[in-house]
A and B are shown apart, each in its own frame.
Chain A
């Protein structure tokens, strides 16, 4: 009960502190909301591109040619048990030969083609390792796969991951700096009050808690504003984007799936954690008892 009274008091102190800060609260929230909107937009773009690239990777195909005398179905079963494989399609040599004959004028020879397995992967970066694993499977004579394409996709994917990481780190640092400086200003403005509270025997955590809560509130309100901004952008530009992309890049637009919930969740968590963390760090640094 006593703890509840203390927490209620801390909450009151927080709101009274924010009330005193007046319009500057909205300035801070506005700046943070802008930073988080940019962050959310970039995060969403990075994730969407990563999805697209991943889907390209899943369309890569490894062809495994089988030795004579091996049951294609049995080899296919063994391959499907390997990791990172999403689909194994059997192309019997008779079907392949008929297909070839229908497309090209070929002499009437005995069918020289082997049974073939077309293997679809889950990830582009697994092409090489999976091809090596397939090569070792009993009954597989030869393996072909689009290594250059896979490498290009992997490089692009890697670039997106690094870019996302760098941008996340930069914007987190920027948010921390804004929150930290704001709380530092609050501490400076209230330094006399803080000194009085300290001399009265008020615990440091009690003095710091309203500032930490204030930071968390700044972070969460900014995140909500950023979510509204991004939601509005999606609402107005989604159909336009899709129409444009269908004309220019049909494959890209097919894979342009971008649920925004993870981004919204990331923004809210980042806002609260960075807001509270930045305030805690600043108040710990500048409020000495």
Chain B
């Protein structure tokens, strides 16, 4: 589902990613780990075409997204669910409005919007908070709204960039377990994190980056201390 071939990304001559080759299959669940500056966020930004690689190919569902025209980028992003560390919720809109925004912008029928948003809110266990505004919610709840928004359009791929960065360990674990449940429904999930606790709690595939290089890719792995050094 996700494939990177010989991907390099330089920022003004400074390499952020060097010769990355990676493949994540349909419905797979993987962690992308590494210390700050390892290149995790850069790799995530390449996947949702916020950045383009200096060289190499990035394929999502067999399509090389580095070759997309600007007008095609929104179409790509609708096929991806993206979850952010800072939630990126619209502060003046309720939970329901935040989750339903993309559906309304696409002209989805009212009944369908209600059905799909309610279903997404059920998945994240926030049905009773539909009318709340983001600032009335805890950090964990806001992140769950972010996840509901990411899955409401039924994307085959879900990217979560440091989704637990602003949360306490217990809430972080709940969020990652929620993402794992979503993956079990057939969605490819890639989570970038430097949180050793959650990675080691789940024992799933772990892709490690260090200094912009892919240093290990292990099924049922852990986040090794050496990898953080």
Number of interface residues of A (CB under 8 A): 20
Residue A97 is within 8 A (CB to CB) of chain B in the complex: no
User: Contact: A20 with B92, CB < 8 Å?
Assistant: yes
User: Contact: A197 with B75, CB < 8 Å?
Assistant: no
User: Contact: B48 with A203, CB < 8 Å?
Assistant: no
Q: Which residue of A lies closest to B150 (CB)?
A: A200
Residue B133 is within 8 A (CB to CB) of chain A in the complex: no
User: Contact: A202 with B90, CB < 8 Å?
Assistant: no
Residue A3 is within 8 A (CB to CB) of chain B in the complex: yes
Q: A201-B77, A201-B78, A202-B102 are in contact. Are A196 and B107 (CB under 8 A)?
A: no
Shortest distance between the CB of B197 and any CB in chain A (Å) = 27
Residue A243 is within 8 A (CB to CB) of chain B in the complex: no
Residue A165 is within 8 A (CB to CB) of chain B in the complex: no
**B84 CB contacts on chain A under 8 angstroms:** 199
Contact of A203 among B92, B105, B108, B149 (CB under 8 A): B105
Q: Which residue of A lies closest to B70 (CB)?
A: A289
**B77 CB contacts on chain A under 8 angstroms:** 198-201
Residue B168 is within 8 A (CB to CB) of chain A in the complex: no
Residue A206 is within 8 A (CB to CB) of chain B in the complex: yes
Residue A100 is within 8 A (CB to CB) of chain B in the complex: no
Q: A20-B92, A289-B70, A289-B73 are in contact. Are A202 and B107 (CB under 8 A)?
A: no
User: Contact: A199 with B102, CB < 8 Å?
Assistant: no
Contact of A201 among B50, B70, B71, B102 (CB under 8 A): B102
Residue B76 is within 8 A (CB to CB) of chain A in the complex: yes
Residue A41 is within 8 A (CB to CB) of chain B in the complex: no
User: Contact: B107 with A289, CB < 8 Å?
Assistant: no
Question: What is the interface residue range for chain B against chain A?
Answer: 20 to 34
Shortest distance between the CB of B55 and any CB in chain A (Å) = 23
Residue B104 is within 8 A (CB to CB) of chain A in the complex: yes
1/0 per residue, CB under 8 A from B, across A185-209: the answer is 0000000110111111111101000
Q: Which residue of B lies closest to A196 (CB)?
A: B88
Q: Which residue of B lies closest to A195 (CB)?
A: B88
**A9 CB contacts on chain B under 8 angstroms:** 104-105, 107
Distance A286 CA – B118 CA, assembled complex (angstroms): 35
Contact of A206 among B50, B71, B82, B105 (CB under 8 A): B105
Contact of B74 among A2, A6, A193, A203 (CB under 8 A): A203
Q: A196-B88, A196-B90, A197-B101 are in contact. Are A202 and B109 (CB under 8 A)?
A: no
Q: Pull 19 A–B residue pairs with CB atoms less than 8 Å apart, ordered by A.
A: A2-B107, A5-B107, A6-B106, A9-B105, A195-B88, A196-B88, A196-B89, A197-B105, A199-B77, A200-B102, A201-B74, A201-B78, A201-B79, A201-B102, A201-B153, A202-B74, A202-B102, A202-B105, A204-B71
Q: Which residues of B contact A (CB under 8 A)?
A: 48, 50, 70-71, 73-80, 82, 84, 88-90, 92, 101-102, 104-110, 149, 153
Q: Which residues of A contact B (CB under 8 A)?
A: 2-3, 5-6, 9, 20, 192-193, 195-204, 206, 289
- 8 pairs of A and B residues whose beta carbons are closest in the complex: A201-B77, A201-B78, A2-B107, A6-B107, A5-B107, A201-B74, A196-B88, A202-B105
